Amino acid sequence: FRRRCFRWPMSQLRWTTERMDQLENAARKGLRVALSRRGTEYIVVALRVTTVGRDEALIGRLPMTGEDLTFRLEDIDSFQVIE
Distance from chain centroid for Cα 2: 33
Over residues 6-58, the pLDDT tens digits come to 444 555 678 899 999 999 999 999 999 999 999 999 999 999 999 999 999 99
Residue 27's pLDDT is what?
96
Cβ–Cβ under 8 Å, residues 35 and 78: yes
Tell me: pLDDT of 70 over 90. yes
Mean per-residue pLDDT, 56-80: 95
The overall pTM is greater than 0.85:
no
What is 24-72 written as a DSSP string? HHHHHHT-EEEEEETTEEEEEEEEEEEEETTEEEEEEE-TTT--EEEEE
Residues 6 or more apart whose CB falls under 8 angstroms from that of 32 comprise: 26, 43, 44, 45, 46, 63, 81, 82
